[in-house]
Amino acid sequence: MLIPPVVLLDSFVAMVMFSIGLRVRGGDLFAVLGDRRLLVRTLLVNCLVIPAIGFVLVRIFPLTPDARIGILLLAAIPGTPIALQFTRRAMTRLAFAASMTFVLSVVSLAMVPLAIEIMPEIAEHDERPLILLVTNIVFYIALPLVLGLWAGRSMPRVAGKLALPLGILASLTFVFLMWETRLVRREAFQTIRGGGSVAAMAILLLLSMAIGWMIGGPDSESRRVVATATSMRSVVVVLYVARYCFPATMVYMVPIVYLSLMVPTNMVFHLAYTGWHKWRSAAT
């Protein structure tokens, strides 16, 4: 690989959060968090309902032990910044998209040790996944967002010119990330398939998206953001957990396969939403 995928992902997230900071105000971010009903619904779904669905799925399908653990971890840990590739398209809900990413990422701090604690005895307790998660939240989500807010307030003219090029560069970085990981994702599919593993992940993805849409608030743009943020589980954190807490297993293959499912599914979802929205606007 020309560039390590983690570097590409971190760069993508930092650029998106900085560009969002350039275009929104700090008050907008806090106003989003003021909608307590939506916030509580989102947290309940991501921390209770989706994990419960994962638990049911691993009981229904005859999965291998490694696939079972991987799917339970995916269901338990929300909040991937990868969702920003799609949620930032909701231009009228940029502040909401940024806040949702930050909140769910912080929530995953509590969910990671809880998920590990209830896993089988083969789990090795290791603090490195939590340390890496805290580092990512601080340096690639919070800090770029704060810097973007500062730049947008201090240099509004420059900020206006930077937002679009940064958005384009972030999209190109994401495309390159998917290209660089194509062989790894193909290998993961070949390794993990069987026993209904892929079907179980697909059902988890689609149900999470549908539930996110249903609870996502009064307008379609908010529903769009919550649907994507809920369905795109924290594959990077699960990968860290698999690497450090479940060594010498194939658990790490599960989040790689889920990544291959959630990106094209959400791409189709957002393309369909955009087409539906344009058709509806033209009809009225």
Asked whether residue 153 is assigned to any structural domain, the reply reads yes
User: What does the pLDDT average to over 12-34?
Assistant: 77
Asked whether residue 283 is assigned to any structural domain, the reply reads no
- For 106, the token pair is 């912080």
User: What is the pTM for the complete model shown?
Assistant: 0.85
**In percent, how much of the chain has pLDDT > 90?**
29
The domain total for the chain is 1
- Domain of 22, CATH number, reads 1.20.1530.20
- The answer for residues whose C-beta is within 8 angstroms of residue 65's C-beta and 6 or more apart is 120
Higher pLDDT, 127 or 259: 259
Asked whether residue 155 is assigned to any structural domain, the reply reads yes
Model confidence pLDDT, tens digit, residues 111-121:
888 777 776 55
Residue 218's nearest CA partner among 206, 226, 210 is 226
Beta strands in 137-226 (DSSP E): none
User: What does the pLDDT average to over 248-253?
Assistant: 86
Nearest-angstrom CA–CA distance, 203 and 47: 18
- For 49, the token pair is 């309902």
Asked whether residue 282 is assigned to any structural domain, the reply reads no
Report pLDDT for 33: 67
Q: At what angle do helices 94-117 and 5-23 cross, to 10 degrees?
A: 140
**Cα 60–Cα 63–Cα 68 angle in degrees, nearest 5:** 95
Report pLDDT for 51: 94
Query: What's at 42, amino acid-wise?
Result: T
Report pLDDT for 59: 93
**Cα 77–Cα 199–Cα 175 angle in degrees, nearest 5:** 65
Asked whether residue 281 is assigned to any structural domain, the reply reads no
Beta strands in the chain (DSSP E): none
Maximum pairwise Cα distance, the chain: 59
User: What does the pLDDT average to over 38-64?
Assistant: 93
Report pLDDT for 88: 73
Which of the residue ranges 127-131, 260-264, 273-277 has the most confident prediction, judged by mean pLDDT? 260-264
Nearest-angstrom CA–CA distance, 205 and 228: 10
Nearest-angstrom CA–CA distance, 216 and 94: 15
232 within 8 A of 83, measured Cβ to Cβ: yes
User: What does the pLDDT average to over 100-105?
Assistant: 83
> Distances in Å between the alpha carbon of 38 and those of 32, 76, 218, 281?
9, 20, 10, 26
- For 39, the token pair is 């916030």
Asked whether residue 154 is assigned to any structural domain, the reply reads yes
Residue 61: domain span: 5-276
